Structure 1
Amino acid sequence: MSARIYQRPKNAMQSGKALLDQWTLEFTPSEAKKPDPLMGWAGSGDMQQQVILRFPTSDEAKAYADKYGIEAAIHATPPRRLKIQAYADNFR
């Protein structure tokens, strides 16, 4: 059983920054999704895909994974780069 630990990126469509400081532990899928023969919806028998755990820090998420024997890889959040420009730059 393996998982990944990451921090949610900011949504580009909204300016809010709620829940961005939380770290998420998400299990990697163990089997591929396949279409349901009756409805055609994609699904699988892997119930671990539905489990998403949130932690205040990456250290707590890693400690949880170590405690329960989960192989977890921490994906660091890339630094945000802001392009600072004046409104007048739109008319150059």
Structure 2
Amino acid sequence: MTARIFQPAKTAMSSGMAKTTEWVLEYTADEPRRIDPLMGWTSSADTQSQVRLHFQTKEEAMNYAEANGIDAVVTQPKKRGANLRPGGYGDNFATNRRGVWTH
């Protein structure tokens, strides 16, 4: 039974960083998914692939994996810098703009 420990990335639909500070232990699939011939749904007999455990720190996740005999691979996150513009959002509506602003 193998798993990976990682910090989830922020969603593409928001600029916020919610749910990106916790660490997740997620099991890898032991068998490939298959398509059900009757309904066409994708399924798997591997129930461990549905399990996601959340931890406050990387050390907690690693200790849990070690205590339960789980081979875990830790993936370090790639941190991004903040995307701050000098004028901020209000600069979009400034009256002293140099260039023409159009959609």
TM over 0.5: yes
Q: Equivalences for 1:62-73 in 2 at 5 Å?
A: 62-73=62-73
Please, which runs of 5 or more residues in structure 1 have no aligned partner? none
Structure richer in strand, relative to its length: 1
Aligned counterparts of 1:89 and 1:3: Cα–Cα separation in 2: 54
Please, which runs of 5 or more residues in structure 2 have no aligned partner? 92-96
Aligned counterparts of 1:17 and 1:32: Cα–Cα separation in 2: 32
Q: What is the TM-score of this pair, normalised by structure 2?
A: 0.79
**Matched AA of 1:3:** A
Name the residue aligned to 2:94: none
Cα RMSD over matched residues? 2.0
1:24-53 deviation per Cα after TM superposition (whole angstroms, max 9, x unaligned):
000000000010011101111000001110
Contact kept? 2:10, 2:19, Cα under 8 Å: no
Find runs of 4+ consecutive structure 1 residues off by over 3 angstroms: 81-91
Where relative contact order (Cα < 8 A, 6+ residues apart) is larger, the structure is 1
Percent of aligned pairs sharing the same letter? 42
**Matched AA of 1:24:** V
1:12 is displaced (CA, Å) by 2.0
